[in-house]
A and B are shown apart, each in its own frame.
Chain A
């Protein structure tokens, strides 16, 4: 039954695929596809929420084995617990509203279907992120959201600024994501698994263990394992949630199509950071050091962004810095251990920001420079609802932090100085938030703030209405809060939360008044600044102007990054390429080749031409001389003479032999044989010549005798 929830991420993915493939044929129907998918997802999320409220049992849906390598096995799965389901509501709900809204808003855009494909993909990524059961899956979705954000920011790709902003957004995130990925790798190295539930189960066993970070260099620098892991995981959060010093991308990201991307960059995606912190809260709780770092970074960001947004003139920039500030607040609350507050504020902030954007629809359109005919006609007055929304946004987080159960959490950090610092930061942020929100809303609806702030704004009836409305809303919120804390507690690794009774008045008394007062003070100050500008001549002093210039230029952080990081690194790369590859190695190779040619030539000249050739020629001459000498010496003098003398002697020898052997012996012997044969013949004639056969026989006999005789003689 519960596996039907697999459709929550699957439907947006299918919508992406359908729109991407058939977008050209679908045309404006692609918006409807997206709306349909997001709508069903939202409905299913509500169903999951109801199921979880009723049965309180987390749902796990295994998907498939992603990869296996040695001792690493990654099984993907969807995990729905209380935390997930709340974020699911926010994400799918927000996405659904944005889909519906932009299916009309984006009409006329040349890349209508592309827009919806990316929007659906974003929904898929964010939904899967909050449902991930595996850290690697979280990272994949994390990056996928980043690329969707890139695509949305660069939607109006004709505009140079939009493209630059998109690249910047992704690169700043990529830098921070190095931290996240490294954290994941560290997690695997230390836990041997990336499954979130297993990690959280094993986390306590790892506390206290240390790792020598400089072991490779032979040094000793021991750091707690948990601290290392969480610090790097937190670095990832810094990027996605646009915290100092990685906040620079978010203001530029407002180049995206106005309400939609603003919603993604304000209400949903930027919440990924706090979500990760809350998801791994049991792990983070184990490292007080990192918790302090988180609180400090969050507090700094909250205050910094609030101050900067006071001076911005572009409405979208104001909203961007307001988002940064609010997320900073969430991070800070995470840092002090109030994870439930962070989530509560996240939901409230998401809803209210979405509400702010959407209810101001066409105003925002014209404010952002979109020239639509219908909106140019006139700008409507801000509804009271908007002011309420803004005020609540400013009040909610501190109201909750300073109330009830979390007061004890302020002692997470032992020193009272730190506690007071966070108090001060919190209250200051509330103060500034109220101010800039007022300013932002008035800017939205009037040509100048003084248009909006009219005397009747201060009529007692209105003030009473505002106060009553605010109090009413706060009461509603407190009711929600009463239910919220125990509901979320199991997901925070704390199945038995302390009983929360927000109605205990003693918790409320002094602490609650403070943030409320701060908010109203900020609100009133902003009102006064616009209605009675003369009161603020103080701000026109040199000192005030210098402050203003710094705030307006966002403390020059973009410029500093550009001048000290981006440009130098590109110039360094160029220099390196020219110095090492082109001048160094290439020249070396070319030089080697040239030199070897030269060497070869030199060798040829010296060795071949001068050396060997000369030697050969010389030896040629010498060998001719040698040959001549040899001929003269050996051939002519020795052999010839020897031959000659041998010849003359052999003639003598031959003659002597002839005389001795031939003439004297052989001739005489032959003669003797002849005589003998003659005599024998005569004798045989006498014997009687009978037949021819006899003659032949005798002849043969003699022949044999003669041969034998010769044989005897010769041997």
Chain B
């Protein structure tokens, strides 16, 4: 019994959100819709914890693998499994989803059922993206994540939601198209199979690698987003509802980094090495550029969004230095960024719920009315710029350590990004949390409710836990990264 359960654990995790959508279809009362959606996401998280504790950290390959023929004619299977890289991403997904539902508990008033269903849909799709061992399945779910996001933005978003949603879809579709081209090329080159493991084991000719790398790279670079493809992100983040921003920043961006690790590095090592210098400098540019952009913002959500671009620069920097520290740092940085930026958006959303303003100048002096909020907001802000003792520091430090093997100048420049991060975050804190209230509304705000505390405190604990004792987290990814690094040596 137990073994059957463990064998199909991953499928159970994937199935729950989709089942949840089916159940929601038959529920009328909004009271129950919210509770069922929350229960589903919590159940997913509970099941995931079983998987987490059953995960063998010494094993290099995939675990909890399930394979089933799906469309035998085209050699397409339903195949899922987790390794150290994907388990962290799945943790992020399953952890943030209940919080998304909690944060939209009262703020979403129209069409609750559709909203919750979309959140569940995107959660299920994201889990599949991170666990898929079949390219076709991967691509399908990659596309599926985009649709609910689009609707979340244009239906429940802010004033500029239509334009933002359109931009998001345009960019995403371009990326998807390139991804599709890449996947088809890979399918042909790799002997007409969609099996990711089998595809990874083959070697491809230099020219093929070059072209396929380019297609995959551009697709993932748009998702990340890397420097010249980033303008969809600030708008989408700013206009999306809180839950949408959290999912977008917390998990969806990670699909890009995950793609680099799952496809580009193991499948096209030669092309990766060829392109690496270019990508590294682009990453450094993104770190600095994102930081400068964030410094220029008056909209808190946009500020956080631009900070994401800067942080994602660290991820690509770490991935393309091709060493243990760099890649481990990058993976950790992805996870940390999900936690910290997710929490930042949750916190900003809580402010937005109170005043319906995202502008920095509308706040000020919050420390008086909202001491609990300010304490947590402060923690996440300092974590965002990588204060030692919080989780982000570990990731950034490892990335920098890895980058030092390539170029010291790069490291120094990237550190400039950390100083910029400290500047915009502390400046924002100073204007939002400290000083005197700027408006009368800002002086009448109430502190966090229990529900809001519940959404933020777990993330705060994770931030501190990883910051103080990162070894267990590192242990999770150690073996998989060890497996990944030789590919590019």
Closest to B297 in A: A577
Add 5 more A-B contacts to A64-B471, A70-B323, A188-B401 (CB < 8 A): A144-B389, A171-B419, A171-B422, A576-B296, A581-B293
For the complex, give the distance between the alpha carbons of A574 and B292 in Å.
8
Closest to B431 in A: A163
For the complex, give the distance between the alpha carbons of A303 and B464 in Å.
42
- In this assembly, does B488 line the interface, its C-beta being within 8 Å of a C-beta of chain A? no
- In this assembly, does B469 line the interface, its C-beta being within 8 Å of a C-beta of chain A? yes
18 A/B residue pairs, CB under 8 Å, sorted by A: A68-B478, A69-B398, A70-B325, A72-B324, A142-B388, A150-B426, A157-B435, A163-B435, A171-B419, A174-B418, A174-B423, A185-B400, A186-B404, A189-B405, A216-B409, A573-B295, A574-B296, A589-B170
Which residues from chain B sit less than 8 Å from chain A, CB to CB?
Answer: 167, 170-171, 228, 230-231, 234, 289, 292-293, 295-297, 323-325, 328-329, 365, 367-368, 371, 382, 387-389, 393-394, 397-398, 400-401, 404-405, 407-409, 411-412, 415-416, 418-419, 422-423, 426-427, 429-430, 433-436, 469-471, 474-475, 478
- In this assembly, does A147 line the interface, its C-beta being within 8 Å of a C-beta of chain B? yes
Option from B167, B412, B430 in Cβ contact (under 8 Å) with A163: B430
Contact assessment for A66 and B471 in the assembled complex, using a CB-CB cutoff below 8 Å: yes
- In this assembly, does A480 line the interface, its C-beta being within 8 Å of a C-beta of chain B? no
Option from A69, A163, A178, A572 in Cβ contact (under 8 Å) with B292: A572
Option from B230, B231, B388, B398 in Cβ contact (under 8 Å) with A140: B388
Contact assessment for A158 and B436 in the assembled complex, using a CB-CB cutoff below 8 Å: yes
Nearest Cβ on chain B to A199's Cβ, whole angstroms: 15
Interface centre among B297, B323, B405, B415 (most CB of A within 10 A): B415
Nearest Cβ on chain A to B373's Cβ, whole angstroms: 14
Nearest Cβ on chain A to B335's Cβ, whole angstroms: 14
Option from B167, B324, B389 in Cβ contact (under 8 Å) with A589: B167
Contact assessment for A157 and B434 in the assembled complex, using a CB-CB cutoff below 8 Å: yes
Nearest Cβ on chain A to B418's Cβ, whole angstroms: 7
- In this assembly, does A224 line the interface, its C-beta being within 8 Å of a C-beta of chain B? no
- In this assembly, does A414 line the interface, its C-beta being within 8 Å of a C-beta of chain B? no
Contact assessment for B389 and A576 in the assembled complex, using a CB-CB cutoff below 8 Å: no
A170 and B296 in contact, given A64-B469, A147-B382 (Cβ under 8 angstroms): no
Provide the residues of chain B in CB contact with A164, threshold 8 Å.
Answer: 430
- In this assembly, does A175 line the interface, its C-beta being within 8 Å of a C-beta of chain B? yes
Those of A543-598 within 8 Å (CB) of chain B? 569-570, 572-574, 576-578, 581, 585-586, 589, 593
For the complex, give the distance between the alpha carbons of A136 and B393 in Å.
11
Contact assessment for A69 and B325 in the assembled complex, using a CB-CB cutoff below 8 Å: yes
A-B complex: 3 closest residue pairs judged by Cβ atoms: A70-B324, A140-B388, A163-B434
Contact assessment for A178 and B474 in the assembled complex, using a CB-CB cutoff below 8 Å: no
A570 and B296 in contact, given A157-B365, A178-B415 (Cβ under 8 angstroms): yes
Contact assessment for A185 and B404 in the assembled complex, using a CB-CB cutoff below 8 Å: yes
Provide the residues of chain B in CB contact with A185, threshold 8 Å.
Answer: 400-401, 404, 411
- In this assembly, does A686 line the interface, its C-beta being within 8 Å of a C-beta of chain B? no
Nearest Cβ on chain A to B333's Cβ, whole angstroms: 13
Provide the residues of chain B in CB contact with A593, threshold 8 Å.
Answer: 170
Contact assessment for A139 and B293 in the assembled complex, using a CB-CB cutoff below 8 Å: no
Contact assessment for B292 and A576 in the assembled complex, using a CB-CB cutoff below 8 Å: yes
Contact assessment for A174 and B422 in the assembled complex, using a CB-CB cutoff below 8 Å: yes
Provide the residues of chain A in CB contact with B407, threshold 8 Å.
Answer: 216
Contact assessment for A68 and B404 in the assembled complex, using a CB-CB cutoff below 8 Å: no
Contact assessment for A178 and B471 in the assembled complex, using a CB-CB cutoff below 8 Å: no
Provide the residues of chain A in CB contact with B293, threshold 8 Å.
Answer: 573, 576-577, 581
SS class, residues of chain B in contact with chain A: helix
For the complex, give the distance between the alpha carbons of A574 and B427 in Å.
15
For the complex, give the distance between the alpha carbons of A469 and B170 in Å.
82
- In this assembly, does A213 line the interface, its C-beta being within 8 Å of a C-beta of chain B? yes
Provide the residues of chain B in CB contact with A144, threshold 8 Å.
Answer: 387-389
Contact assessment for B426 and A170 in the assembled complex, using a CB-CB cutoff below 8 Å: yes
Provide the residues of chain B in CB contact with A68, threshold 8 Å.
Answer: 471, 474-475, 478
For the complex, give the distance between the alpha carbons of A164 and B426 in Å.
10
- In this assembly, does A82 line the interface, its C-beta being within 8 Å of a C-beta of chain B? no
Which residues from chain A sit less than 8 Å from chain B, CB to CB?
Answer: 64-72, 111, 114, 136, 139-140, 142-144, 147, 150, 154, 157-160, 162-164, 166-167, 170-171, 174-175, 178, 181-182, 185-186, 188-189, 213, 216, 569-570, 572-574, 576-578, 581, 585-586, 589, 593
Closest to B366 in A: A157
Contact assessment for A154 and B434 in the assembled complex, using a CB-CB cutoff below 8 Å: yes
Provide the residues of chain B in CB contact with A154, threshold 8 Å.
Answer: 434
Provide the residues of chain B in CB contact with A136, threshold 8 Å.
Answer: 397
Contact assessment for B394 and A67 in the assembled complex, using a CB-CB cutoff below 8 Å: yes
Provide the residues of chain A in CB contact with B433, threshold 8 Å.
Answer: 157
For the complex, give the distance between the alpha carbons of A158 and B436 in Å.
6
Interface centre among A69, A71, A171, A573 (most CB of B within 10 A): A69
For the complex, give the distance between the alpha carbons of A187 and B471 in Å.
22
Provide the residues of chain A in CB contact with B404, threshold 8 Å.
Answer: 185-186, 188-189
Closest to B427 in A: A167
For the complex, give the distance between the alpha carbons of A136 and B400 in Å.
13
Nearest Cβ on chain B to A169's Cβ, whole angstroms: 10
Option from B405, B412, B474 in Cβ contact (under 8 Å) with A182: B412
Contact assessment for A67 and B419 in the assembled complex, using a CB-CB cutoff below 8 Å: no
Provide the residues of chain B in CB contact with A160, threshold 8 Å.
Answer: 435-436
Provide the residues of chain A in CB contact with B368, threshold 8 Å.
Answer: 157-158
Closest to A70 in B: B324
Nearest Cβ on chain B to A374's Cβ, whole angstroms: 27
Provide the residues of chain A in CB contact with B295, threshold 8 Å.
Answer: 569-570, 573-574
Provide the residues of chain B in CB contact with A574, threshold 8 Å.
Answer: 295-296
Option from B167, B382, B419 in Cβ contact (under 8 Å) with A178: B419
For the complex, give the distance between the alpha carbons of A157 and B365 in Å.
8
Closest to B229 in A: A585
Closest to A169 in B: B426
Nearest Cβ on chain A to B346's Cβ, whole angstroms: 21
Closest to A574 in B: B296
For the complex, give the distance between the alpha carbons of A585 and B365 in Å.
36
Provide the residues of chain B in CB contact with A67, threshold 8 Å.
Answer: 394, 398, 470-471, 474
Provide the residues of chain B in CB contact with A65, threshold 8 Å.
Answer: 471
Provide the residues of chain B in CB contact with A162, threshold 8 Å.
Answer: 434
Contact assessment for A178 and B435 in the assembled complex, using a CB-CB cutoff below 8 Å: no
A186 and B478 in contact, given A178-B419, A570-B296, A577-B292 (Cβ under 8 angstroms): no
Provide the residues of chain B in CB contact with A159, threshold 8 Å.
Answer: 435
Provide the residues of chain A in CB contact with B296, threshold 8 Å.
Answer: 570, 573-574, 576-578
For the complex, give the distance between the alpha carbons of A560 and B325 in Å.
40
For the complex, give the distance between the alpha carbons of A284 and B191 in Å.
60
Option from A143, A150, A170, A577 in Cβ contact (under 8 Å) with B389: A143
Closest to A159 in B: B435
Contact assessment for B430 and A586 in the assembled complex, using a CB-CB cutoff below 8 Å: no
Option from A66, A70, A182 in Cβ contact (under 8 Å) with B415: A182
Provide the residues of chain B in CB contact with A569, threshold 8 Å.
Answer: 292, 295
Closest to A114 in B: B371
Interface centre among B170, B407, B434 (most CB of A within 10 A): B434
Contact assessment for B436 and A69 in the assembled complex, using a CB-CB cutoff below 8 Å: no
For the complex, give the distance between the alpha carbons of A577 and B404 in Å.
30
For the complex, give the distance between the alpha carbons of A157 and B368 in Å.
9
For the complex, give the distance between the alpha carbons of A167 and B423 in Å.
8
Contact assessment for B328 and A69 in the assembled complex, using a CB-CB cutoff below 8 Å: yes
Provide the residues of chain A in CB contact with B427, threshold 8 Å.
Answer: 167
Closest to A151 in B: B378
Contact assessment for B426 and A178 in the assembled complex, using a CB-CB cutoff below 8 Å: no
Nearest Cβ on chain A to B408's Cβ, whole angstroms: 7
For the complex, give the distance between the alpha carbons of A496 and B358 in Å.
65
Provide the residues of chain B in CB contact with A171, threshold 8 Å.
Answer: 419, 422-423, 426
Nearest Cβ on chain A to B431's Cβ, whole angstroms: 9
Contact assessment for B387 and A175 in the assembled complex, using a CB-CB cutoff below 8 Å: no
Closest to B429 in A: A167
Nearest Cβ on chain A to B85's Cβ, whole angstroms: 14
Option from A69, A111, A576 in Cβ contact (under 8 Å) with B324: A69
Nearest Cβ on chain A to B371's Cβ, whole angstroms: 8
Interface centre among B167, B400, B426 (most CB of A within 10 A): B426
Provide the residues of chain B in CB contact with A158, threshold 8 Å.
Answer: 365, 368, 435-436
For the complex, give the distance between the alpha carbons of A154 and B368 in Å.
13
